[in-house]
Chains A and B, each alone.
Chain A
Amino acid sequence: MTTIKAPEAPHNGKKARILIVDDSSTHRLWLELMLGSRYEIDVAIDGESGLRSAVANRPDLILLDVVMPGVDGFAACRELRKRPETRQTPVIMVTTRDEEMDVETGYSNGCTDYISKPVDQLELLAKVESWLDATPGAA
């Protein structure tokens, strides 16, 4: 688990905290590059460590990949919804394009929203910003 300190703070001096859970180092890096200047970023390399990080660090929002070894994104999302610390945390599933079933299963397992790969920066920032704006207590 790694924490990257972002240099800028767009929300009244306090940065919102986002957890990226993805087993692909390339995808993690790409998401960090897109978000790191605006938010404090935690990363986890699989579902299990993502769950631990979410409970320990209480992020304001979670970006959750679907296909991961061990605890996959669906199982991780179900678990997040069971735990009082993370029950109300927005979870954006990152799905593979053309997998309609992934989206349906994601919602059935409690995700808040989804975004398709390849992730578009404008879409990602707009969604993240919208959910953080709506989150009571988030920066």
Chain B
Amino acid sequence: MAAAPALPLDDVRVFVHPGKLAASAAPCRITTILGSCIAVSLHDPTAGVGGINHFLLPRAPHGEQSARFGDQALPQLLDAVERLGARRAHLVAKVVGGACVLDVFRDKLTHLGNQNASMAFEALHDLKLPVLMAETGGRKARHVTFYPHTGDLVVRSL
């Protein structure tokens, strides 16, 4: 019996659910969908390693340890890419999400999407990680595809 053809690594696709993250040193596609949530990607172009998270809320209300919260999701992502060989000094970040899909909330600067985006930028600043690209706010949800080996991040409005 002939062996099944190997799947090209470029065709390996991982969907990141809210509160989760994914990192890889191999060519693959990581997708996620964001409304008010934020995704931060980290990429080390020298090592060819990258990862992306998807957090729902800026801070854990009772100190829970979960990547659902921005204050936990970024350190966890940093740890994941460093374990794969990325070096912090080489890492660059991209930030996407934080939309507000209802008109009635958009005028409020404290809407959830803004809070999440602020959390991401503050955390990246504290970790001294440069932000290469940011697409946050707006009124539409976003579909995101991240290529961890190249750091490319493709955003499509829904």
Contact = CB atoms under 8 A, between A and B. Distances in A.
Given A123-B68, A131-B112, A104 B143 contact: yes
A127 B102 contact: no
B158 A126 contact: no
A136 B56 CA distance: 21
Contacts of A127: 56-57
A117 to B, nearest CB: 11
Contact of A107 (B68, B112, B158): B158
Given A88-B103, A112-B101, A123 B35 contact: no
A43 interface: no
Nearest to B57: A126
Q: Is the interface of B mostly helix, strand, loop or mixed?
A: loop
Contacts of A97: 17
18 contacts: A88-B104, A98-B15, A104-B158, A107-B35, A107-B140, A107-B141, A107-B158, A108-B158, A110-B101, A114-B18, A116-B17, A122-B68, A123-B68, A126-B56, A134-B105, A134-B110, A135-B104, A136-B104
Interface in A71-103: 88, 90, 97-98, 100, 103
Nearest to A99: B15
Contacts of B111: 134
The interface centre, meaning the residue of B17, B19, B111 with most chain A CB atoms within 10 A of its CB, is: B17
Contact of B61 (A88, A90, A98, A126): A126
B31 interface: yes
B61 A123 contact: no
Nearest to A136: B104
B15 A116 contact: no
Enumerate the 5 nearest inter-chain pairs by beta-carbon distance, A residue then B residue, closest first: A107-B141, A88-B104, A107-B158, A103-B33, A100-B15
Given A98-B15, A130-B57, A134-B112, A114 B31 contact: no
B53 interface: no
Interface of B: 15, 17-19, 31, 33, 35-36, 56-57, 61, 64, 66, 68, 101-105, 108, 110-112, 140-141, 143, 158
A113 interface: yes
A119 to B, nearest CB: 12
B70 to A, nearest CB: 12
B102 A112 contact: yes
Contacts of B108: 134
A61 B15 CA distance: 27
A108 B141 CA distance: 8
A118 to B, nearest CB: 12
B64 A122 contact: yes
Contacts of A123: 18-19, 56, 68
B107 to A, nearest CB: 10
